[in-house]
Amino acid sequence: MPRLWWGVLAGLVLLLAAAAYVVYALVRSPPGATVVPVSRAAAFAGPRSPLAWPNQGEAALAVRGVGFIGSHGPGQPTPIASIAKVMTAYVVLHDHPLHVGAAGPQITVTPADAAVFDADRGTGQSVVPVQPGERLTERQALEGMLLPSGNNIAAMLARWDAGSEGAFVARMNATAGAMGLAHTHYSDASGVAASTVSTAGDQVHLGMRAMAVPVFAQIVGMAQTNLPVAGRQYNKNALLGRNGIVGIKTGTTSEAGGCFLFAAEDRLAGRTVTIVGAVLHQLASGAQPSIIAAAFAASTALLDSARRVVVKRRVLRRGTTLAWIKAPWADRVPLQAAASAALVGWPGLRTHTTIVERTVISGSVITGQEVGSAVIAAGTQHDTVRLVAARDLPSPSLLWRLTHP
């Protein structure tokens, strides 16, 4: 073949190779763009008003669904008296769940149960009258334990649930361990034993868990109940229904002093917020002639101060850049929040932003297009916002495709 033809053939091969490369460059998928989060740390702004911590004992405060505001005092295990019945009720309801409005199974009062009533009454304990053969529903027994604070009813429920009070107390301690209540130990179901101890922080944690059980929250929110033998019985929580308080349990012994684990509800910008607090080992004084009056006064002051601290506030403005689209063929494009976000908190509470959904980008993006979402969190609460492109991201140009194999 003449040399000329070899040259023509070589040229055709090169032309075909170039054409093939152009076709390949046009039809192949370009490398994907990536979504890169913006490093962002923020906190609730503003000065923080001081909390009215009691000048004795210990106390703790939290907002359910958000987290702990703080605690005060030694933070050492101390007797908690009848607040122990919160765990007793929690374990019983875990083992024998009740729906709101349900009575549950019947519990027959045994001669042993009646003997415990007589013995407890003889030592001046808080009791609810019972008779052998009397039948109480599970709901009635829980009401008798939580409202008038019947120590004998706590022991009766423990034996009904686990066969013996000792076996039941072991379940209480196992539950406390599973919850992370490292400073809590139960020796009995009623709390009359001085060796049943906890801290304010542990009890606030338990209180938030208990108030999440609807039937428990309903019972501790009752002002009174009517039982077959005992008749009308009243809630010992004298603050119930006042100052927003919706529960949960009082406790008094000479060793424990006055104790009060409380929950109060408020409305903040259309949202119900539950503040849970505990004050332990409050003693009588000239201003407060009884230990329970001292506990109520300390709780009221602490709750009032908490209301000046807890707010619902905008923590993210619409249009804030939370991430960038980075594509090798164009300048980066900001991804902005499509809406504002508001959360409940207090000055100093930190917020965190996490990009939780990222759309795979392999081509163009137009202004306003949704390209993922972000979660704004403070404590255990969160709000989700859409991420939208602040400007266009063009497709890769022909020149870029040809020069980036």
Cα gap 289→255, rounded to integer Å = 17
Cα gap 40→245, rounded to integer Å = 37
Please measure the distance between the N-terminal and C-terminal CA atoms of the chain and give it in whole angstroms.
36
Asked whether the bond before 248 is cis by omega within 30 degrees of 0, the reply is: yes
CB of 130 closer than 8 Å to CB of 141: no
Three state DSSP letters for 179-205: HCCCCCECCCCCCCCCCCEECHHHHHH
The region, left, alpha or beta by phi > 0 then psi within -120 to 50, assigned to residue 272 is beta
Cα gap 252→80, rounded to integer Å = 8
Enzyme catalytic residues: 82, 85, 149
The region, left, alpha or beta by phi > 0 then psi within -120 to 50, assigned to residue 402 is alpha
**Please, which residues bridge with residue 350 across strands?**
43
Three state DSSP letters for 317-353: CCCCEEEEEECCCCCCEEEEECCCEEEEECCCCEEEE
Which H or E run includes 4? helix 3-27
Cα gap 216→88, rounded to integer Å = 11
3-state SS class at 106: strand
Cα gap 142→138, rounded to integer Å = 6
Question: At 285, which amino acid appears?
Answer: S
